[in-house]
Amino acid sequence: MSLSTTNSKPDLKDFTLEELTTFVAEMGLKPFRARQIFSWLYRPGITSFSQMTDLSLELREKLAQKTQISVFTPSTLEKSEDGTIKFAFKLKDKALIETVLIPEQDRNTLCVSSQVGCAMGCGFCLTGAMGFKRNLTPSEMVNQVCAAIEYITGKEMGSLDNLVFMGMGEPLANLSNLLSALDILMDQRGLNFSSRKITVSTCGLIPQMEKLGRHSAVNLAISLHAADDKIRDRLMPVNKKYPLNNLLEACRIFPLPKRRRIMIEYVLLKDINDSPEEAALLAKRLRNIRCKINLIPYNETAALPFHKPLQERVEKFQEILWGAGYTVIIRNSRGADISAACGQLAGCKRSPAPHMSVIRADGIVDL
Ligand code: SAH
Ligand code: SF4
C-alpha cells in the first residue's frame, strides 16, 4: 500500500486485514482486535469509532486519536434516462473522480475508478486526454464501492453484484494499491465480493497482468481495439512497449480458473479499426485464447476527433467473428446523456444535458 497524503493520520480503510493486524500489533493489540475492527469498517452506516460498541471506550478513544476512517459522500449524483447513475467524489486534495452505477434487470454493476486521470495517452479516450494526476489509494477505491452500496441500500435497489475496474485510470499502473483494494473487497470480513464478480480492465501492461494473475482470480479484460500493430500503435502508445504478439501471448498463458474467459474489449472507431479485414485478422490472432469479445461502438465526445462507426459495419464485424466461432456481444454503452459512458469520465464539470437532474449530496435537486 502506498499513500499519497502522508501528513495525516492513517486511514484504516487503506489497510488489508493482514496490514491492519500488523498495525494494531504495534499498538500492543492482539490479532483478534484487528479482525474485530476490520469487520466494523465495512458495515453499512459505520462512520466513527464510537459505533464500534464491542471495543472498550479506552481503545475507541485511542484509535480515534491515532487513526481515522474515511467515508465518501457523493459531491454530485447524476441520473441518466436509462437509469445509469454517475457519482462524483471530491477527494481530500480536491481532485474529482467519477464512479458509474449501472442497474440492469437482474443485477447492479459498478464501474470503479483507479486513478485521477491516466498516463497511458490513448488518443480516443477522454480520461487519457486529462493526463495523469495521481493514483488512488486503496481506501479511495474501496470507498467508491461503499458509497454505492449505501446508495443502493437506501433506494432499496437490491444488492451490488459486480465490480468492474473500467472507470478513470489504468488499474494495473496502480498495482499495489489495486491489490490491497481487491483484498479488502474480497475479504469475508470486508466487502465479501467473490473474485468471479470483479473484473479488472487493462490496456495491456504485461508484467502487471502476470502479477495480478498470481495474486487473485479476478476476471481480466483487455482493451485491445486493434488487430495489427500499425493501428494499435497509433491508438494506444502502450503498444510500442508491449506489442500485440506479446500481449496476446500473455493472454494465452494467463492463469484462468475453469470456465472463465478473458474479455476482449474492442472499441469500434469509424474508418480506423472497423473494417471487415480487421475483423478477419482479429479472429485469426485471437485463436487459442479462451475469450469472449465485447464490441463497443465509440462514444463520441466533442473534444476528440473520433467517430462512431456505421451500424452495418458494426454488424458485419460481429458476423465475421461469429463465423470464426467466437462469442461476441455488441455493447452499446449506457449513460451517454450524462457523460457516464465508456471513455467519457473526466471528473470535470460539464454543462448538464437538459433532461438531466443533478442531486446534491444533501438531497437537494439542481436542475
Ligand atoms: N485503463 C483501462 C481501464 C479503463 S476501461 C483500460 O483501458 O482498459 C475503459 C474502457 O473504455 C477501455 O476499454 C477504453 O478503451 C474504452 N473507451 C475509452 N474511450 C471510449 C469511448 N469514447 N467510447 C467507447 N469506449 C471507450
Ligand atoms: Fe487510460 Fe484506459 Fe483511457 Fe487508455 S483507454 S487512456 S489506458 S483509461
Q: What is the pLDDT of residue 347?
A: 62
Instruction: Please tell me the distance between residue 67's alpha carbon and the centre of ligand 2 in angstroms.
Output: 34
Q: Which atom of ligand 1 approaches the CA of 343 most closely?
A: 19
Q: Looking at the 3D structure of the chain, how many domains does it have?
A: 2
Q: Which residue in the block uniquely carries the three cell numbers 498463458?
A: 253
Convert 87-125 to b/e letters by CB count within 10 Å (16 or more is b): bbbbbeeebbbbbbbbbeeeebbbbbbbbbbbebebebb
In a domain, 341, yes or no: yes
Q: What is the pLDDT of residue 348?
A: 52
203 lines ligand 2 (CB under 6 A): yes
Out of 66, 87, 108, a domain closes at: 66
* Spatial separation of the C-alpha atoms in residues 122 and 304, rounded to whole Å: 11
Q: Which atom of ligand 1 approaches the CA of 298 most closely?
A: 23
Burial of 344 (0-12, 13-18, 19+ CB in 10 A): buried
Q: Are residues 227 and 305 in the same domain?
A: yes
In a domain, 293, yes or no: yes
DSSP 83-108: S-EEEEEE-TTS-EEEEEEEE-SS-E
In a domain, 1, yes or no: no
Q: Are residues 263 and 282 in the same domain?
A: yes
125 lines ligand 1 (CB under 6 A): yes
State pTM to two decimals.
0.93
On whether the CB atoms of residues 156 and 209 are closer than 8 A, the answer is no
Q: Are residues 16 and 135 in the same domain?
A: no
In a domain, 6, yes or no: no
Along the 367 residues of the chain, how does pLDDT read in single tens digits? 444 445 589 999 999 999 999 999 999 999 999 999 999 999 999 999 999 999 999 999 999 999 999 999 999 999 999 999 999 999 999 999 999 999 999 999 999 999 999 999 999 999 999 999 999 999 999 999 999 999 999 999 999 999 999 999 999 999 999 999 999 999 999 999 999 999 999 999 999 999 999 999 999 999 999 999 999 999 999 999 999 999 999 999 999 999 999 999 999 999 999 999 999 999 999 999 999 999 999 999 999 999 999 999 999 999 999 999 999 999 987 777 777 776 666 665 443 332 222 322 322 222 2
Q: What is the pLDDT of residue 338?
A: 72
Out of 48, 66, 84, a domain closes at: 66
279 lines ligand 2 (CB under 6 A): no
125 lines ligand 2 (CB under 6 A): yes
- Which ligand sits nearest to residue 237's alpha carbon? 2
In a domain, 210, yes or no: yes
Q: Are residues 306 and 268 in the same domain?
A: yes
Q: Are residues 122 and 247 in the same domain?
A: yes
Instruction: Please tell me the distance between residue 236's alpha carbon and the centre of ligand 1 in angstroms.
Output: 11
Q: Are residues 33 and 82 in the same domain?
A: no
In a domain, 134, yes or no: yes
* Spatial separation of the C-alpha atoms in residues 284 and 278, rounded to whole Å: 10
- Which ligand sits nearest to residue 268's alpha carbon? 1
Instruction: Please tell me the distance between residue 23's alpha carbon and the centre of ligand 2 in angstroms.
Output: 35
Q: What CATH number is attached to the domain comprising 236? A: 3.20.20.70
Q: Are residues 277 and 227 in the same domain?
A: yes
Other CB atoms closer than 10 Å to residue 348's CB: what's the count?
Answer: 11
Instruction: Please tell me the distance between residue 237's alpha carbon and the centre of ligand 2 in angstroms.
Output: 10
Out of 28, 47, 66, a domain closes at: 66
Burial of 363 (0-12, 13-18, 19+ CB in 10 A): exposed
Provide the residue range defining the domain that includes 39.
Answer: 12-66
Q: Are residues 157 and 52 in the same domain?
A: no
In a domain, 365, yes or no: no
* Spatial separation of the C-alpha atoms in residues 353 and 277, rounded to whole Å: 38
Q: Which of 120, 166, 304 has most ligand 1 atoms within 8 Å of CB, for mutation? A: 166
Q: Which residues contact 161 (CB under 8 A, 6 or more apart)?
A: 107, 108, 109, 197
In a domain, 226, yes or no: yes
Bridge partner residues of 77 (DSSP): 87, 359
Q: Are residues 21 and 143 in the same domain?
A: no
Q: What CATH number is attached to the domain comprising 31? A: 1.10.150.530
Instruction: Please tell me the distance between residue 192's alpha carbon and the centre of ligand 1 in angstroms.
Output: 27
174 lines ligand 2 (CB under 6 A): no
Q: Are residues 125 and 234 in the same domain?
A: yes
344 lines ligand 2 (CB under 6 A): no
* Catalytic positions, written as ranges: 98, 342
Residue 219 three-state SS: strand
Q: Are residues 109 and 53 in the same domain?
A: no
- Which ligand sits nearest to residue 295's alpha carbon? 1
Q: Are residues 106 and 52 in the same domain?
A: no
Q: Find, among 182, 176, 180, 150, the residue nearest to 163 by Cα.
A: 182
